[in-house]
Structure 1
Amino acid sequence: MGSLTLTHLTYAGAGLPTASVEFDPTFTVIYGSSNTGKTFIVDSIDYMLGGHVRPYIPRAEGYGQILLGLLLPDGSPLTLVRKPGGKSIHVHQADLRGMVHDTPDAVVSARRIRSRRDISHYLLSKVGLDDRYIRTNESGNTELLKLADLTHLSVVTDTRMIDPNPPSQRTRGTAARTAARSVMKLMLTGEDEPPATTLPNVSQRRVQRGKINLIDSLALDLHAKLSRDQSPAELREQLALLEGTLEDMARSLARESEQQARAVAARAQLAQTDAELETRLGEVLDLLGRFDILRQQYESDLARLEMVSEAGNLLGYFQVGRCVFCGADPEHQHAQHGNQETTQLHEAVVVESAKTHSLLADLLLTLSDLEAQRDELIERRNALTRQVGEADSVLAQIEARLAPLNEELQAVVAERLRVERDLELRARIDELDEHRSELVSQGALPSKRVEAFIAGRILTSFDRVLQSTLDSWRIPNVEAAGFDPHGGDVSAGGTTRAGHGRGMRALLHAAFSIALARYCLDRRLPHLGFLVLDSPLVTYKEPDYDADRIPPNVIDHFYRSILAFPGQAIVVENAPPPPDVLEHARIITFSGSGDRPGFFPARPTSVLARP
């Protein structure tokens, strides 16, 4: 069987820098920061191989062509060109890596419609699988193999990596399980199903009509929930415009909020200064009150001393008998006794009066200084009150500008939610339409045909490859790994993949995909030849071990094992591979900034300013 090789993925747009990644024919690792377009690359590869869900991120707006380069089994180049949202794919038998204006060598439908003019038949014919049949239901109906039956095994997105749904199944449901078993049989044995007639009987047609009526009813109900009659392309265009509007409004709000924060800080500083001035003014007023009482006391003392001085002369001269100063009786008094006592009293009064006058003078100086401080503080508080009023006015102006911005932001957010809800409803309607088309095209045989199972020896051989893959990664507790051909799931350590946590589910899905590719490519069995894994390791955390045991470095061993992969491997992860792998693989790093911030390069200023 022939194999395909991916060479590059390119987004091109008029006036925009080309966004492109080139894939190594053996091993490519794309790693780096989140939100840089890594998963977008994987989704774009799936989209170019006939996927119906268009990958979209705002940075992709404006790009008008998606180019996927391949090498066919004979080594000749091929470029698939698809317009985002387009229903057809232009095929060029050349290696093109920019805007394409040449006439294509072929135009095929991007929808997997099982015709001779769709991308599924075109690529399957290049690898020799265009005439293979698979079983579609338990009644034994068959249909031609579609590219979608193989791409989900070669392009594993991050959501499918951790999905509990069996890794061999493309979708959920009994019919999907039957088709998955048939595809696994084709890949592991090289044997497809013999074609069978699909004419249903009366009872089966009645069941089909009932299912179709139910789908029609559900679709009508979803249509009634749509707020407006807009196509998905119009909704996506409107969503992109709303995202741009929200970014502009967010910048305006950020500027106003920054000004508000500065104004609030200045107002708080003024309030703090006012509180300090009020405290100091209270202290000054309190001291003025206390010192004024002391001044009154000094003045009262001076008045009393003056009164004593005036009365002192009379106390010794106009009184006969016992001395008013010392209490001596007349017989004990000498001739100058009264004069001496009066002189001593006068001197004491003079000294005390001088002392009190000195204290009063100092007190008056202090009072004068405090009154000056009081006047200064009152003047500063008046000026500060004016500044507070001005700050409050500035805050009021900012709040007046913020109010309509917030209202407009809420309106835009509500509109975005409405658009996102309509997009989701449109996607669900498209899914129902696809199911309806499948029901219309499917048939049922009058009798049930026995399903052919995969031989036990083949399953044992595949289980050995799966176990060997897990062992090479040094994952603990994954003994007895195997594949269940009926349920389509894998198990390890006595537990099915669905029974494990997200990290182990991702590792087991990656191990299944790698083991299947190795088994098929080594034996030249049907396989597309390449394998794209998105985030097989990001959710895995190694278990704790005893201090004397070295825990296995699963991530490093995972990368090293892929060096021996027989086909083309592309791994998308957040963390880089170990140093000994870097020199053997093409490494593409998205740093979030710098020379290669992400898949899409920075746009020129003129482009960003374009309305």
Structure 2
Amino acid sequence: MAIILTTLKAVGVDREDAEIPFDAKRQVIRGPSETGKSYIRDCLWYMLGGEKPPKGIPLAEGYQELQLRLAADGNQYEVRRGLSGGGEAIYHRPLNNPDASAFEPLEDDLGDLLVKLSKAAGKQILRNQSDRGPVTGDDLRHWSLWSQTEIPGEDPTSGQGYATTKRISSFNLFLSGTDDAAIQVNKTKAEVDRIKGQLTSAEAALERTKAGLPDDVKREDVTDALERVDRTLAAMTTQYEARSTLLKQMRRDIADTSDVLTRIANARNHAKSMVARFELLEQKYSNDLARLGATNEGVAFFQELPSVPCPLCGTPTEMQVDPQDLTPAAPAKYRVAIAAEADKIRSLRSGLLSALLRETQRYDTLRVEAERVAQLLNGLQRQEALAIEGSRIEFDADPKTLAFRRSDLTAQLAIFDEVERVTAEIARLKASSVRKRLVVNRDGGTHGRAVADRSKALLESWGFADIENIALDAEECDLVINDRPRLSYGAGRRALYLSSLVIALMEHALQEGHPHLGVVVIDSPLKAYADPRFQESTDVPLARVTDKFYAWLSNWSGNGQIIVLENEEVADATAEILKPIEFSGVPGLGRPGFFPHRDILRSNMSPGLFGDAPGSLGSVED
């Protein structure tokens, strides 16, 4: 892709439009000085994104806006900017759609749009030794639009100042199609200053860190001491773990034995309680038998006693008690009942004695077992006490003291590690703070050879048959002709040699599909060659060079668009084909200049804008 300029127009209220059409391939705008040719170049620079508006001239008074139309990628674009400055407005419409007559606004930035249309979007170029960035509209304009002073100038093609690096990079991008994305740039001065600040902080941190170490301590000593402490603690840990395992088993045995003893003691106490109860019950049975025996003897004695009246009142016995109790059978019944009750108690007592004997035996057995288990439990408890007591005297070192010592040694070792880290960081920062010169090998290679050969062919077609060899210095972005740098020649040859270079670069870039704006504007490439001040450079006749240059341009059909602004006249036969736009510089004779002629009071004219020549129209430079 590339752009094609179609028209440049200046409009204003109550002013006739000033419009310049451009042929899609080549356009010559010719006329004498002070007719506005260089003004057109300045307008194109401004309308393609330049910041500086064209110089104010009297004939431009009343004109408010410039409009530039260009075609690219199947669309027509119109850029509008105020002559007095400010931003741009962009409009577009399809080229091949007859119904799309009205332009629609486009929100793109002009520089970004030109970069995209020139296939340079996403390409990275060096801006300086420490910065890399995208291609901008300024890079495109610099290698496409050449002013009347730049063409024969003695300055390098990349210019002078801060922008030189990026212009060299963009030239080589157009030449080879390869950008600088893979080139590692240097650090900026701000980054280096920041690194130096970090270096100072790191050095101060190193001194603070070293202050935490004794003067005579060495890392090896600290490491050895830490290993010894770790071995001691490991041995103690191993012993404690073994003893802990043993104690755990002992305590499990103690717990199990204690549970057994508890169960036996409970059973023993229960047997003892039963024995006591049975003994108490046996005493009750004995007492009951004794009472029943005494009762039986009393009843028997009562039977043997005679019946006598009351000694006091003389009342007979049978009148004092129930007569039934005095019958001979009554005491016998009592004695039978007593005998039956005594038999029952004796029977119960027999079973009780058997149970008492069994519980007594059980109690004795449980008592003996309880004593045995209690002795076993006491033995286990003594073993536990001995094991615990043994751990207190087995190690001379105190684990707490060893732990504190290990903490101190670990802290010292951490300080040594920090010293090593900070020292390494200081070394890295010192290496990073050095800004090495960025060396980029700009070798045009086959692309440079192709552009040089194309430039040679152009110069030969323009009449320069004395060129024996030609090369492209990609580092200088310039030609070396007959083993001489272009800038070593006179102004006339410098101008034409540079013209051949920028045209050849455009053709090569577009042919190879490399980024390029697609248009070259050259202001007065022949003027310096025709200037009497540079006659020493015109070893090839001017008429010959002029005629051949215009004849070549009239038949040129290469890649891109060429716009030439020139003073030198075009031969009639060539003009029939080339159809240049002629500025007469004379009111009423053809087209006077860029702006339509109108009378301007001499008092309103700024000195130096018109010159002293009659008929001057007040444009810049030309």
Q: CA shift at 1:604, angstroms?
A: 7.7
The answer on whether the counterparts of 1:69 and 1:79 sit within 8 Å (CA) in structure 2 is: yes
Q: Does 1:600 align with 2:595?
A: yes
Aligned to 2:169, which of 171, 182, 193? 182
CA spacing shift, 1:460–1:58, aligned 2, 3 Å: same
Deviation at residue 454 of structure 1 after TM alignment: 2.8
| Paired residues of 2:7 and 2:19 also in contact (CA < 8 A) | yes
1:67 alignment counterpart: 67
Distance in structure 1 (CA, Å) of the matches to 2:485 and 2:87: 40
Structure 1 counterpart of 2:497, which letter? L
The alignment covers a number of residue pairs equal to 351
- Are residue 33 (structure 1) and residue 22 (structure 2) matched? no
Please give the secondary structure, in 1, of the residue aligned with 2:515.
Answer: coil
Query: Within the alignment, does 1:152 sit opposite 2:142 as a pair?
Result: yes
Counterpart CA distance in 1 for 2:144 and 2:570 is 21
1:414-425 matches, within 5 Å, as none
* Shift, 1:505, TM fit: 1.5
Counterpart in 2 of 1:576? 569
Contact 1:43 1:55 survives alignment (8 Å): yes
CA distance in 2, matches of 1:450, 1:197: 10
Residue in structure 1 matched with residue 447 of structure 2 by the alignment: 458
Aligned partners of 2:135 and 2:173: how far apart in 1?
A: 10
Distance 1:544 1:79 in 2: 42
In 2, are the aligned partners of 1:79 and 1:95 still within 8 Å (CA)? no
Correspondences of 1:364-375 after superposition (within 5 Å): none
Q: How far off its partner does 1:82 sit? A: 0.1
After superposition, residues 431-450 of structure 1 pair within 5 angstroms as 450=439
Alpha-carbon distance change, 129 to 558 in structure 1, aligned in 2, over 3 angstroms: same
| Match runs of 1:82-121 below 5 Å | 82-94=81-93, 105-106=105-106, 118-121=109-112
Q: Offset at 1:149? A: 0.6
Tell me: CA distance 1:603–1:571, structure 2 relative to 1, closer, same or farther (3 Å): same
The question of 1:537 aligning with 2:526 is answered yes
* Secondary structure of the structure 2 residue equivalent to 1:583: helix
Q: Which runs of no fewer than 5 residues in structure 1 stay unpaired?
A: 97-101, 108-116, 208-443
Residues 543-598 of structure 1, C-alpha deviation per residue, up to 9 Å, x if partnerless?
A: 7999xx98870111112222223221111111232333223323111111223111
**Aligned counterparts of 2:164 and 2:14: Cα–Cα separation in 1:** 47
Alignment correspondent of 2:480: 491
- Alignment partner, residue 521 of structure 1: 510
Q: 1:586 aligns with which of 579, 583, 604?
A: 579
Contact 1:477 1:492 in 2 (8 A): no
Distance 1:197 1:486 in 2: 17
TM-score by length of 2: 0.52
Is the CA contact 1:134–1:142 (under 8 Å) kept in the aligned structure 2? yes
Matched, 1:161 2:151: yes
Q: CA 1:505/1:95 → structure 2, altered by over 3 Å: closer, same or farther? A: farther
Deviation at 1:201, TM superposition (A): 5.6
1:543-562 equivalence runs, <5 A: 553-562=544-553
In structure 2, what is the Cα distance between the partners aligned to 1:148 and 1:482?
26
In the alignment, structure 1 residue 478 sits paired with structure 2 residue 471: no
Residues 16 and 603 in structure 1, CA contact (< 8 A), matched pair in contact too: no
CA–CA distance in structure 1, aligned partners of residues 17 and 543 of structure 2? 41
In structure 2, what is the equivalent of residue 136 of structure 1? 127
Give, as a single letter, the amino acid of the residue that structure 1 aligns with 2:150: R
| Cα distance in 1, alignment partners of residues 147 and 541 from structure 2 | 32
Matched-pair identity in %: 30
Post-superposition offset of 1:491:
2.7
1:194 to 174, 181, 205: 181
d(CA) in 1 for partners of 2:110, 2:12? 23
Give the Cα separation in 2 of the matches to 1:583 and 1:79: 30
8 Å contact from structure 1 (residues 467, 482) kept in 2: no
SS in 1 for 2:529: coil
Q: Partners of 1:506 and 1:545 in 2: how far apart?
A: 12
Query: How far has the Cα of 1:467 moved from its partner?
Result: 1.3
Aligned positions of 1:264-413 closer than 5 A: none
**How has the CA–CA distance of structure 1 residues 595 and 142 changed in structure 2, closer, same or farther, with 3 Å as cutoff?**
same
Bigger mean CA offset, 515-524 vs 82-91: 515-524
Residues 34-77 of structure 1 show CA distances to partners (whole Å, capped at 9, x for unaligned) of 11111100110011111122212221121111001100132x21
C-alpha separation in 1, matches of 2:537 and 2:150: 27
Q: Distance in 2 between matches of 1:17 and 1:123?
A: 30
- Structure 2 unaligned segments of length 5 or more: list them: 96-101, 196-432, 605-622
Q: Tell me the residue number matched to 1:81.
A: 80
User: How far apart are 1:191 and its partner, in Å?
Assistant: 0.9
Residue 582 of structure 1 aligns to which amino acid in structure 2? A
Larger Rg: 2
Residue-by-residue CA offset, 1:433-478 (whole Å, 9 max, x unaligned): xxxxxxxxxxx99666552533533322221112111111112543
C-alpha contact (below 8 Å) 2:172/2:444 kept by paired residues: no
Shift of 1:163: 1.5
Do the aligned residues in 1 keep the contact of 2:444 with 2:473 (CA within 8 Å)? Answer: no
Other structure's SS at 1:136 match: strand
Computed over aligned residues only, the root mean square deviation of the Cα atoms, in angstroms, reads: 3.3
Q: Which residue of 2 aligns with 1:404?
A: none
* Correspondence 1:15-54 to 2 at 5 A: 15-54=14-53
**8 A Cα contact 2:66 2:83, kept in partner:** yes
What's the counterpart of residue 617 of structure 2? none
Counterpart-to-counterpart distance in 2, 1:21 and 1:121:
25
| Matched residue type, 1:158 | Q
Give the Cα–Cα distance (whole angstroms) in 2 for the partners of residues 586 and 11 of structure 1.
22
Q: CA offset at residue 4 of structure 1?
A: 0.2
User: Equivalents in 2 of 1:61, 1:552: separation in Å?
Assistant: 38
Partner letter of residue 531 of structure 1?
V
- Give the aligned residue type for 1:68: L
Distance 1:61 1:558 in 2: 36
In structure 2, give the amino acid aligned to 1:597: P
TM-score by length of 1: 0.53
Task: Write out per-residue CA displacement over residues 508-546 of structure 1, whole angstroms, 9 at most, x where no aligned residue.
Answer: 111111111122222222211111111000121477999
Q: Secondary structure at the match of 2:450?
A: helix
The answer to whether the Cα contact below 8 Å between 2:47 and 2:79 also exists between their aligned partners in 1 is yes
Which secondary structure does the structure 1 equivalent of 2:527 belong to? coil
Please say if residues 590 and 596 of structure 1, whose CA atoms lie closer than 8 Å, have aligned partners that are also in contact.
Answer: yes
AA partner of residue 109 (structure 2): D
Distance in 2 between the 1:204 and 1:533 partners? 43
In structure 1, how many angstroms separate the alpha carbons of the residues matched to 2:168 and 2:446? 17
Cα distance between partner residues in 2 of 1:85 and 1:605: 20
Q: State the AA in 2 paired with 1:64.
A: Q
1:193 is paired with a residue whose SS is: coil
Q: Secondary structure at the match of 2:580?
A: strand
Look up the equivalent residue of 2:89 and give its one-letter code.
Answer: H
Cα displacement (A) at 1:94: 4.4
